[in-house]
Amino acid sequence: MTISGWAQILIFCAIVVALVPPLGWYMTRVFSGERTPLTPVLRPVEIAFYRLAGVDETREQDWLTYTIGMLLFHVAGFLLLYGLLRLQNLLPFNPQEMAAMPPDLSFNTAASFLTNTNWQNYGGESTVSYLIQMAGLTVHNFVSAAAGIAIAIALIRGFARASARTVGNFWVDLVRCTLYVLLPICVIITLFLVWQGMPQTLGPYVEATTLEGAKQTIAVGPVASQVAIKMLGTNGGGFFNANAAHPFENPTALSNLVQMVAIFALGAALTNVFGRMVGDQRQGWAILAAMGVLFLVGVGVTYWAEAAGTHTLNALGLTGGNMEGKETRFGIALSALFAVITTAASCGAVNAMHDSFTALGGMIPMVNMQLGEIIVGGVGAGLYGMLMFVVIAVFVAGLMVGRTPEYVGKKIEAREVKMAMLAILCLPLMMLGWTAVAVVYPPAVASMGNAGPHGFSEVLYAYSSQTANNGSAFAGLTGNTPFYNLTGGIAMLVGRFFVIIPALAIAGSLAAKKIVPASAGTFPTDGGLFVGLLVGVIVIVGGLTFFPALALGPVVEQAAMSAGDLF
């Protein structure tokens, strides 16, 4: 580890924290229907969308109606994307004449982009046409991110409102998020990335002649516009198979920094939106502090593990850390930082191959996902996932002091605790359940690229990534098989909607409750004691749930690696 490496990490953290108040202020005004600097330009467009769709923006919905609208929207989106993938060979803007996707891969891909996962069992530049990249994948990058933020806003309203029957209007939240938040920022990021050298064209792939006289096809396309929303919306699906390690998706150190900041910007700012809407910004900062503690510990461990390298490399005199699978233009520090950022959020973009990390360095990204990616998390998903743990934490605090727990003036009772536990427990069910099946099912075992604990880690990482709606992979697993396509698609759908529905049920329950004034017995939830309790609950729940599985994979591999055995 170097001072330069830590300086880059701290600069990133400082930029993200500095963006939290202004972005939080702006998004609060957007979702409260207040005037913003962009209102004069975008308000007519917003009204036109409502008229076209027959939406009454003044009519709010209860939590069940909000949920039904959200689910119907996703069903329609799934069918549309599945149809586009199956008919790709018949559609325009396909200069490379890409064939239609097979049914099982189309199911997996549609489920992936629908759920903001962007897991890819295919190579983007060799499988998907320009039309699908734009009208299929990029569109879902926007609307899946907007839907996640909308759910978080609905849950915030549940905490903020008193004796209310409604939690907002899904269609209004979706339109406002897309129009006022995602699109304007993505336009700026896209122009910046084009300036940095990223392609943005509808022209065919470029044929080049190498110095040796061989012919080479260089893939190009509308890359910059997709990369902008893939990062800002924490989607992560790459235009190219190598994702952000590809020079056309991440050409410079400056583009790398902007992409990392974009991944965290909205997720971190939503904690400030929470504080503003409940009337106490310290509550938002407390949540962000808990996220920050977990994030910094993860970065520290990953950076240390990669900088230390392996016993085998060091014995050969190859000191300086583990550079396998990393781009030299980013180095160990920025590769480790990117890996933790992308898995602390539900992004999944990678600028290094996690399969080539040391066992301990690869375990931290896996743990980030197994915790539900609540460490800043995906846009919206991180906040409502963290609030599930907040419910459990204040419940534990209530048990310790012998009174009904409260949070921001709302009593947390049996219904909220049950819904929070349902949301939390559905994740290990998919992650561990499908892993257990895959490691004994012969066709699934045949897809493992490595033997021993590393092969087990490949499978565990895959289902952790898909269930947590992350999308990154260990890369050693051959995932494009009927078994992995179907089971992975199911894991993605469960990991998304079996968390969203309980979160909205909690929103409806809390909105109907009265505000309880703080008293001498109220446990303060805006200070260091609560941050420590929240972090402790997250670590204990995650440890009890996943440590046995981790012990079979990265933990035993780390011990073997220290003894000179590699897999």
* Residue-wise pLDDT tens digits, 86-119: 999 999 888 878 899 999 999 999 999 999 998 9
In this structure, what DSSP letter does residue 195 have? H
CA-closest candidate to residue 306, choices 348, 342, 335: 335
Structure tokens given for 174: 């979706």
Measure Cα distances from 349 to 117, 192, 227, 243, 353 in Å. 10, 19, 10, 6, 10
Structural domain contains residue 270: yes
The pLDDT of residue 153 is above 80 = yes
Structural domain contains residue 528: no
Across-strand partners of 206?
218
Instruction: Describe the crossing of helices 359-370 and 452-467 by its angle, rounded to 10 degrees.
Output: 30
- The alpha helices in 87-121, defined as continuous H runs, are 103-114
Structure tokens given for 186: 């993505």
| pTM recorded for the entire structure | 0.93
- % of the chain surpassing 70 pLDDT: 99
pLDDT tens digits for 368-414?
Answer: 999 887 888 778 888 998 999 999 999 888 887 777 788 888 888 88
The rounded mean pLDDT for the chain is: 90
Structural domain contains residue 157: yes
Q: How confident is the model at residue 202 (pLDDT cuts 50, 70, 90)?
A: confident
DSSP assignment of 254-307: HHHHHHHHHHHHHHHHHHHHHHHHTT-HHHHHHHHHHHHHHHHHHHHHHHHHHH
Sign of CA dihedral 550, 556, 559, 565: negative
3 state SS of 326: strand
pLDDT tens digits for 13-25?
Answer: 999 999 999 999 9
Predicted local distance difference test score (pLDDT) of residue 232: 94
Across-strand partners of 61?
168
Structural domain contains residue 323: no
Structural domain contains residue 493: no
Q: How confident is the model at residue 123 (pLDDT cuts 50, 70, 90)?
A: confident
- % of the chain surpassing 90 pLDDT: 64
Average pLDDT over residues 145-151: 94
Structure tokens given for 130: 């320009």
Measure Cα distances from 147 to 132, 140, 169 in Å. 21, 10, 12
Predicted local distance difference test score (pLDDT) of residue 567: 64
Across-strand partners of 217?
207
Among all chains, which residue has been given the structure tokens 């586009």? 84
Structural domain contains residue 339: no
Structure tokens given for 548: 């046995």
pLDDT tens digits for 208-223?
Answer: 888 888 888 888 888 9
* C-alpha–C-alpha distance, residues 29 and 20, integer Å: 14
Structural domain contains residue 82: yes
Q: Which range has the top average pLDDT, 64-78, 235-249, 447-461?
A: 64-78
What's phi and psi for 411, nearest 5 deg? -70, 130
Structural domain contains residue 364: no
Predicted local distance difference test score (pLDDT) of residue 93: 87
Structure tokens given for 290: 């808990």
3 state SS of 357: coil
Predicted local distance difference test score (pLDDT) of residue 283: 94
Range of 239's domain? 19-278
On the CB side of 270, CA atoms within 13 Å amount to 35
513 neighbors 160 (Cβ within 8 angstroms):
no
pLDDT tens digits for 503-517?
Answer: 999 999 999 999 888
pLDDT tens digits for 450-493?
Answer: 888 988 999 999 999 999 999 888 878 888 999 999 999 999 99
Sort residue 28 into left (φ over 0), alpha (ψ -120 to 50) or beta.
alpha
Measure Cα distances from 555 to 266, 548, 550, 551 in Å. 33, 10, 6, 5
* C-alpha–C-alpha distance, residues 522 and 535, integer Å: 20
In this structure, what DSSP letter does residue 441 have? S
Structure tokens given for 215: 């012919």
499 neighbors 385 (Cβ within 8 angstroms):
yes
Cβ contacts of residue 255 below 8 Å, gap of 6+? 192, 193, 196, 197, 198
pLDDT tens digits for 180-190?
Answer: 999 999 999 99
Q: What is the dihedral of CA 25, 28, 30, 36, to 10 degrees?
A: -30
pLDDT tens digits for 258-305?
Answer: 999 999 999 999 999 999 999 999 999 999 999 999 999 999 999 999
Average pLDDT over residues 340-369: 91
CA 49 to chain centre: 28
Measure Cα distances from 456 to 447, 449, 472, 492, 535 in Å. 11, 10, 16, 20, 28
* First CA to last CA distance, the chain: 25
- The alpha helices in 124-248, defined as continuous H runs, are 124-127, 130-131, 139-160, 170-176, 183-195, 223-232
177 neighbors 294 (Cβ within 8 angstroms):
no
Predicted local distance difference test score (pLDDT) of residue 203: 85
Our count of domains for the chain comes to: 1
Predicted local distance difference test score (pLDDT) of residue 70: 95
